[in-house]
Amino acid sequence: MWKGIGKRESGELRPSLFCSRIRSSRAASLQLSNHKEIVSAHRGSVNSLQVDLTEGRYLLSGGADASVAVYDIQNSTHCEEGGRVAKHKSIFVIDKQHEHGHKYAISSTIWYPIDTGLFVTGSYDHYINVWDTNTTQVVMNFKTPGKVYRIAMSSLATSHMLIAAGTEDVQVRLCDIASGAFAHTLSGHRDGVMSVEWSTSSEWVLLTGGSDGAIRFWDIRRAGCFSVLDQSNSQLGRRPPFLENSALNKASTSKASAAGQSSSVKARALQRRAANGNGSKQSTIGRVRNQVKGSMKHRLHPGLLSSQDRATAHYGAVIGLKMTGDGMYLLSAGSDSRLRLWDIESGCNTLVNFETVRLQTSKPLQLSLTQDSALVFVPCMATAKAFDVWSGKTRLTLRGHYENVNCCWFNAQDQELFTGGNDRQILVWSPPNLITDDVDALSRKGQAALDEDNWSD
Amino acid sequence: MSVWNYVVTAHKPTNVTHSCVGNFTGPQELNLIVAKCTRIEIHLLTAQGLQPMLDVPIYGRIATLELFRPHGETQDLLFIATERYKFCVLQWDAEAAEVITRAMGDVSDRIGRPTDNGQIGIIDPDCRLIGLHLYDGLFKVIPFDNKGQLKEAFNIRLEELQVLDIKFLYGCPKPTIVVLYQDNKDARHVKSYEVVLKDKDFLEASLSQNNLDNGADLLIPVPQPLCGVLIIGEETIVYVNASTFKAIPIRPSITRAYGRVDADGSRYLLGDHNGLLHLLVITHDKEKVTGLKIELLGETSIASTISYLDNAVVYVGSSYGDSQLVKLNLQPDAKGSYVEVVERYVNLGPIVDFCVVDLERQGQGQVVTCSGAYKDGSLRIVRNGIGINEQASVELQGIKGMWSLRSSTDDPFDTFLVVSFISETRILAMNIEDELEETEIEGFCPQVQTLFCHDAVYNQLVQVTSSSVRLVSSISREMLDEWHAQSGFSINVATANLTQVLVATGGGHLVYLEIGDRKLTEVKHAQLEFDISCLDINPIGENPNYSHLAAVGMWTDISVRIFSLPDLNLITKEHLGGEIIPRSVLLCSFEGISYLLCALGDGHLLNFLLSMNTGELTDRKKVSLGTQPITLRTFTSKNTTHVFAASDRPTVIYSSNKKLLYSNVNLKEVSHMCPFNTAAFPDSLAIAKEGELTIGTIDDIQKLHIRSIPLGEHARRICHQEQSRTFAICSLKYNPSSTEDSEMHFIRLLDDQTFDFISTYPLDQYEYGCSILSCSFSDDSNVYYCVGTAYVMPEENEPTKGRILVFIVEDGKLQLIAEKETKGAVYSLNAFNGKLLAAINQKIQLYKWMLRDDGSRELQSECGHHGHILALYVQTRGDFIVVGDLMKSISLLIYKHEEGAIEERARDYNANWMSAVEILDDDIYLGAENNFNLFTVRKNSDGATDEERGRLEVVGEYHLGEFVNRFRHGSLVMRLPDSDVGQIPTVIFGTVNGVIGVIASLPSDQYVFLDKLQTNLRRVIKGVGGLSHEQWRSFYNEKKTVDAKNFLDGDLIESFLDLSRSKMDEIAKAMSVPAEELMKRVEELTRLH
């Protein structure tokens, strides 16, 4: 470390490379944290975890007991074991007793991507609730026709505020926070939708994975899905020339970013643009290609050729989706206990062999990636595993939960992993803290006193 | 409140990152173009050497600099891409002598991850396209159309994710790239692709080579007729083309730069990490490559770029040492080296640490930097203003004037020094032993004060006293003629040159005399309405002995007038305004431009452009040099004329780029100055100050002065101890000769005057010096050096062991007094409440200094604070501790005396990776971070909730574009308590590129005013290549881009002074402030650095 700092100081090591080296070495050394513990507020399995995207400070968790809780992961509430282990109790819990609380299990909880003023929960009671964090009141809700499996909001979006919801129903619903109504329903899946994920390169592109085994790509400005991934469309080594698979190559048609945006969103959109300045940039590789192959698009869109429309990505349900931060690859998990890495541009299955043994099949899984997309964290029964994304090799096996793990969230800011399982625990996995205690008993007492004083939240 | 900050560069970047050679400014002109991270310099190669043509800032960090020549062009164009994904193509406009932008654009993408290995930008040798590798897995292509214009860019998917280098191959029918990459298993290979523009895709090409040297890092494409590519590894060099493969082993080294010698590509210069320069030769039989040969030429600075100019002259740009111009000789010298260094260009980068000291105790800070790396490590003493190197001095009270005289008109040296007192005049002369002794000139009148003296033609001297003008032979020293003032009217002021004398007597009489052989002739007499305060007839016209103009400053109406000579007709009258009379006027000419300088009694100086033909005065400018009356004198140094303004703040006025510049002289108060150019002390000045007469020479005339102390090793930390007058440094010496990369680490003690090593304490094996501090402890009067170290074991990721060493300086030796083992690296040390505060890995630890029973002392830990990832940078103020974390921005801790504990008070929750922190005042803290940004945060003591109080609010954000390693409070300039600028607190920073900058905390009203000025300047001053200043200064990291706030770009604001008058007026109009006022305020700001 000191050497790296020295090399950065003298300009020998590029600062960005310095960061990414430290990040990846920290991510590779994750272990059950010896200094941080979350005191889970749930009395049922933990189904969903997310740390807010703005400050990386507040962890939101949703449980099968219909409770949702928020923890401050930066400031501990108290310490144990002589001040070495910081405990983080929830700041608040909303459970069934709450007047607007969900009745059944919460399957998915997400923060509003722009700030921590709102969060959204989806539950098996068919409702999607939008909450005001400060008052813990429901400000809006949406009723869907079935159990809600997964909800997602785009962190890139500057011109819409849509919650995409995958439910028992075959249709994917887009709930508009700006208007309080369903903006669209996306039809195509032949079974319930277990996973939804927004594109990391275009705010208009949504990816959904259904119990029918299909992964569909949608451009929400258009009707119908524009691409379905086919597990048999694979590629070993060099990608085949472009022309052969152009039909699948409609990812992110983002020509006119201003088109199709409702006026009610506009005011909000401006705010958002200020919030994440680079979000408005929409150029993708897809765009150039689409201009070239414009005629193809018209022929196939909407409603793809039926053979393509039947394609599946997994044998069995698609239970988890995660797109890499660079917008070039997609990871999917299926109830066939497979993890697949897809090249989004070509729609090819890259055939990376992930050494998964068995995946839990009954529930949607929440996968998580490191910032550089080198490692993917996958709940594998009672463990969470980290796989090398490019080789599929197991890098870490994180054992700590007593029952099945449901969700992973990697906080890229601190290189900490949070996992939630059926054992109702939320575990923190962090790079080891070197214990530098040459402290004598006296100062340890001081440390304890300090933590009591910190009792503020 | 230090919320409003003004950031300005005191020393520009000097780290050379790129260079290229081509015909940029004209088809026949050979140019060297050098990029210094955020600046480019264009030089012209002439018979005399390199001649600078242009030095301009670029609003971006330069990632790529390439010259190219599209079809049909007669000279080269310059392609620049910046790290923030902007590019531009520049062209030289010979008529306006400036660069114009031919094309520009943005090449950023939403998709893709920025490459870790740095951006690559290359241009096809046949100018068909530009290739950029900016994001992993994507290759961006900007095609040229057949007119040489750029077309719309597109991306091609690149299979290889870990790309090390990409180059275009020569001699290919279709543009073809060769890619050096690393695979999943860390093996390195080379592959090539043809770019198919029509399909916007790659087609795999034939050239490829698997399993290369593990250190292969650099590709060199070989031009026609040989074609193919050289792959430079750490242990082998390989040549490959479609059919041939040749390899040679080399001594293990990392090649950092190459330069092609011949156009046919058969010889290359390679510079390695030890600064060794090799010549690589491709032996070939016609077009068939037969082998490779490598030969050591010699040693240079560690090269970051090599450009072969012409005739065996090579430019070696360096990031770690001074850049050099070297000549390659055909025959080796005595040491076997073929390299001869012709010229060196100072480079301060990388400044890893520095301290601000006042060695001369004049109240002016100097910066001593740890600069350079490896063998090129050095200390640099950077100081503002011009130094006088004292050679002799005598105590003399009450000097009223001084002049030097020659013993004959054509003697190149001065002999006599006339020193005038209130009621006598004494004459000093150099004797044979080169000593100054008192002598006599018989013809001079010694009993009265002399008003003026000068040499005159025909070996004569002129002395003016209050009653008469005497003409004396400089050989016989006898009086030849005398002119008496009209009785009742004594002479008040006088001036003369070789042939003319102008005197002013009471009652407003102005008398003009001419000097003949043994004769003084009164030529003209004029009666003015007021008394005259000052005069000058310094000849600045074509005739060096005779002036056609006389400048006269007046009492009462406070004006300066220009009269013609010899007829004493009034040509121009300029009222100065105000109530302060002019005390000194001077006609002078710099770089062919004539000026009238007029100094007032209150330390202000006015300057005018003077038309030699019409005598008209234009372009009035006013600056404040000091507070006392100023006397102006010209002098010559290195064949250039400068003006010395003697006052309470002596200043040298000189001209650069046809602009007048003012540089402080490092002397406290000077009443009089005259040049005294003797054979023994050439180019000397005689200076009268505070009861003393000093003879000394003057440094080079420039604003910042840099002295180099080469160390031959890499200094990492420095600190100064006032009491022992020493510096202590942590340094490391690389040992390139041994096989393992062995390093030795030392604590060295240096004398603060001579900078000699006076004592050394070697550290253990694997032990690194990480921090150093000079401090004292409570209940102990001694001053100690405390050193924090780390044991960096090869197998460990993070140090788990370190030491704190406490030294005392005794008899010039470092004596170890105490040592304390720590459980990690001691990244930072601070004196804190008479105790020692250390940052050890993720912990902040407080140690007290305890007296043991046996009388010895030891460090005892008192309390600590956890909760950081790595506490790298720590600053303290009172009981507050500000910590800059490796990746978690700034946090504020407080030490509670009663509990004896350290607690966290507040934190910035942004994910900034810190590189330096400083406390600006009680509430505002300054940070520099990994993405070259600066930001300030504010402690929110008045927050309503704990949550609010526990949060450091971000109040300022700014993209500096420089990697800051250290902030220190202090100033490079003398602070005058009476000027506005003197009250502004400043912080100095040092960066990797060798920039020394100043951050000044301005009052709110001044900030608002300057912010408005900055906005207006942005409209008028356009960035080179059409790059936007506003975008450049916007805070930028992986997560967000936001406009700069509460920081101003001083470099832009100060460039107001370089604008033409019409543009100044345009801005003044937009601001509704007079241009004069603007100029004054901006000039004030330039005094900050």
pLDDT score of A255 more than 80: no
CA–CA separation, B278 and B276 (whole Å): 6
Shortest CA distance from B768: residue in chain A? A2
Residue A192 sits in the same domain as residue A118 = yes
> How far apart are alpha carbons A191 and A297 in whole angstroms?
26
Residue A277 has pLDDT above 60, yes or no: no
- The domain in which residue A371 lies consists of 28-236+312-442
Q: Which residues contact B109 (CB under 8 A, 6 or more apart)?
A: A281, A283, A284, A285, B134, B135, B138, B140, B155
Higher per-residue confidence, A445 vs B227: B227
In a domain, A21, yes or no: no
Does A1 reach chain B within 8 Å, measured CB to CB?
Answer: yes
B370: closest CA of chain A, how far (Å): 10
The CATH number that applies at residue A406 is: 2.130.10.10
Q: Is the pLDDT of residue A455 over 60?
A: no
Does the residue A205 lie in any domain? yes
Question: Which residues 57-116 of A are in CB contact (within 8 Å) with B?
Answer: 57, 74-75, 83, 86
Mean predicted confidence (pLDDT) in A250-268: 37
Which 3-state string (H, E, C) describes B1017-1068? Answer: HHHHCCCHHHCCHHHHCCEECCCCEECCECEEEHHHHHHHHHCCHHHHHHHH
| pLDDT band of A235, cuts 50, 70, 90 | low
Among the partner residues B136, B319, B909, nearest to A57 by beta-carbon distance: B909
- A11 pLDDT higher than 70: yes
CA B208 to chain centre: 46
pLDDT at A247 over 50: no
What is the distance in angstroms between the Cα of A277 and the nearest Cα belonging to chain B?
Answer: 5
On whether residue A3 sits in a domain, the answer given is: no
| Euclidean distance between CA atoms B832 and B663, whole angstroms | 38
Nearest to A19 among B840, B930, B947 (CB): B930
Order of strands, edge to edge, in the sheet holding B767-775? B767-775, B784-791, B802-810, B813-822
Chain B residues within 8 A of A390 when measuring between CB atoms: 161, 184
Of the residues B14, B61, B109, B110, the best mutation for testing chain A's interface (the one with the most A CB atoms within 10 Å of its CB) is B110
| Mutation target among B770, B866, B870, B892 for the A interface, most CBs of A within 10 A | B866
Q: Which pLDDT does position A274 carry in this prediction? A: 39
Average pLDDT over residues A214-232: 90
Distance from CA of A230 to the nearest CA of B (A): 21
- Residues A195 and A327 reside in one and the same domain: yes
DSSP class of residue B892 equals E
A164 in the same domain as A46: yes
Residues in B closer than 8 angstroms to A442, CB to CB, are 863, 900
Give the per-residue pLDDT at A265: 37
Report the sign of the C-alpha dihedral through residues B490, B494, B499, B500, in that order.
Answer: negative
Contact criterion met (CB < 8 Å) for B901 and A11: no
Question: What distance in Å separates residue B740's CA from the closest CA in chain A?
Answer: 16
Chain A nearest CA to B344, separation (Å): 21
Does ipTM exceed 0.90?
A: no
What mean pLDDT, rounded, does chain A reach? 81
Domain match, A387 and A351 both: yes
Cβ contact A66:A95 at 8 Å? yes
Instruction: Please tell me chain B's helix, strand, coil percentages from 3-state DSSP, rounded to the nearest 5.
Output: 5, 55, 40
Residues of chain B with pLDDT under 70: 362-363, 736-741, 975-981
Q: Do A296 and A262 fall within a single domain?
A: no
* CB pair distance less than 8 Å for B866 and A326: no
pLDDT the model gives residue B472 = 93
| Yes or no, beta carbons of B823 and A436 under 8 Å apart | yes
The pTM of this model reads 0.84
CB contact under 8 A, A15 and B159: no
Residues within 8 A of B (CB atoms), A 261-300 only: 274-278, 281-285, 288-289, 292
Q: Which of A11, A276, A437 sits opposite B15 (nearest CB)?
A: A11
Q: Do A18 and B901 touch (CB under 8 A)?
A: no
pLDDT of residue B116: 87
CB contact at 8 A, A203 and A180? no
Contacts of residue B592, defined as CB under 8 A and 6 or more positions apart, other chains included, come to none
Q: Are residues A295 and A161 in the same domain?
A: no
Whether residue A265 is found in the same domain as residue A284? no
pLDDT of residue A291: 38
In sequence order, the 6+-apart residues with CB closer than 8 A to the CB of B1022 are none
Burial (0-12, 13-18, 19+ Cβ within 10 Å), A32? middle
User: Quick one: how far is CA B849 from the chain centroid?
Assistant: 41
A269: pLDDT strictly greater than 70:
no
Same domain, residue pair A306 and A321: no
Which of chain B's residues have a Cβ under 8 Å away from the Cβ of A274?
Answer: 1042
Using CA coordinates, name the residue in chain B closest to A72: B947
- Please check the confidence at residue A457 and state whether its pLDDT lies above 50: no
Distance of CA A286 to the CA centre of its chain: 23
Best mutation target among A78, A436, A440 (most B Cβ atoms within 10 Å) is A436
Phi, psi of A66 (to 5 degrees): 65, 20
Residues of chain B contacting A74 with CB distance shorter than 8 Å = 907, 909
Contact B992 A9 (CB under 8 A): yes
Chain A partners within 8 Å of B900 (Cβ):
442-443, 446
Q: How far apart are CA A211 and CA A318, in angstroms?
A: 6
Q: Tell me the sheet residues that pair with B902.
A: B895
The count of domains in chain A is: 3
pLDDT surpasses 60 at A439: no
Cα–Cα distance between B439 and B460 in angstroms, integer? 17
- Listed in sequence order, the residues at least 6 apart from B645 whose beta carbon sits closer than 8 Å to its beta carbon are B599, B605, B625, B630, B631, B632, B651, B652, B653
Interface test with B, best of A9, A36, A457 (most B CBs within 10 A): A9
pLDDT number for residue A246? 37
Cβ–Cβ contact A155 with B under 8 A = no
Does the CA dihedral A137-A141-A147-A150 come out positive or negative? negative
User: Which of A30, A31, A326 has the highest number of chain B CBs within 10 A, making it the mutation to test binding with B?
Assistant: A326
Beta bridge partners of B514: B500, B521
Of B350, B841, B904, Cβ closest to residue A10: B350
Percentage of chain B exceeding pLDDT 90: 69
Give the span between the Cα atoms of B223 and A372, in whole angstroms: 37
Q: Are B236 and B250 in contact (CB under 8 A)?
A: yes
H/E stretch holding B1006:
helix B1004-1020
Please judge whether A1 and B825 are an interchain contact, meaning their C-beta atoms are less than 8 angstroms apart: yes
pLDDT of residue B362: 65
Q: Same domain for A266 and A294?
A: no
| Residue A208 forms part of a structural domain | yes
- Whether the CB of A236 is below 8 Å from some CB of chain B: the reply is no
Chain A residues with beta carbon closer than 8 angstroms to that of B116: 14, 16-17, 20
Contact residues for A258 (Cβ-Cβ < 8 A; gap 6+): A159
User: A456 and B910: CB-CB below 8 Å?
Assistant: no
Identify the pLDDT of residue A307.
Answer: 66
Question: Is residue A50 domain-shared with residue A111, that is, in the same domain?
Answer: yes
The answer to whether residues A115 and A162 belong to one domain is yes
Q: Which residues pair with B255 in a beta bridge?
A: B272
User: Does any domain span residue A92?
Assistant: yes
The pLDDT of residue B774: 96
Chain A, 304-333: which have a CB under 8 Å from a chain B CB?
325-328
CA of B825: which chain A residue's CA is closest? Answer: A2
User: What's phi and psi for B386, nearest 5 deg?
Assistant: -105, 135
CA-based nearest distance A103→chain B, Å: 32
Predicted confidence (pLDDT) per residue in B312-341, tens digit: 999 999 999 999 999 999 999 999 999 999
Q: Which of A18, A243, A285 to mutate to test the interface with B (most CBs of B within 10 A)?
A: A285
Of A16, A439, A446, the CB nearest to B114: A16
- Do A141 and A257 sit in the same domain of this protein? no
Residue A340: inside a domain: yes
Touching B: A residues 240-259, CB under 8 Å: 241-242
Query: Using the beta-carbon criterion (under 8 Å), do A2 and B768 form an inter-chain contact?
Result: yes
* 8 Å CB contact of A14 and B118: yes
Helix, strand and coil in chain A, % to nearest 5: 15, 35, 45
Q: Name the more confident of B638 and A140.
A: A140
Report the candidate in B155, B246, B240, B231 with the shortest Cα–Cα distance to residue B205: B240
Residue A457 lies in a domain: no
User: Is residue A447 one of the residues assigned to a domain?
Assistant: no
Using a 10 angstrom Cβ sphere, with 0-12 exposed, 13-18 middle and 19 or more buried, the burial of residue A338 is middle
